Structure 1
Amino acid sequence: MFKFIFVLLVGVAIGYGYGWKDAQNNVKNVAERVVERIGGETRERMGNDVDTRYQAGDSR
């Protein structure tokens, strides 16, 4: 049980340090940057604005 708690505390300390350094270097947090990187190319195609799709002639 002690080993589990020790590993958990070490992981939290490392994660906190990484997050602190990341927050000092970047305005957006990690989750926002990952979502932008993954969904950046297909974001326009995934919209649900019916009027824009109808005007563009998209029948999906």
Structure 2
Amino acid sequence: MLFNLLNRLFAEHSTQINQARRLFIDHYQEWEPNQKSIRHKNDIFLKNSRKRAFNITNVHLLS
């Protein structure tokens, strides 16, 4: 009796965990490409700003 009750509780709990895991994976798969593109834009911005800073310092050093 107790074993059956524990078994049923564990089965319900594991299905809830699996549903939550599936929801998280679905959400993460939708979200991850957006993160990559945002990261990529930030990298480009940082590279450009470093180039600008480098060019500005060169102009100051040369003049």
Q: TM-score range by the shorter chain?
A: 0.3 to 0.5
- Relative contact order, higher structure (CA 8 A, sep 6+): 1
* TM-score of the pair, normalised by structure 1: 0.43
* Higher-Rg member (1/2): 2
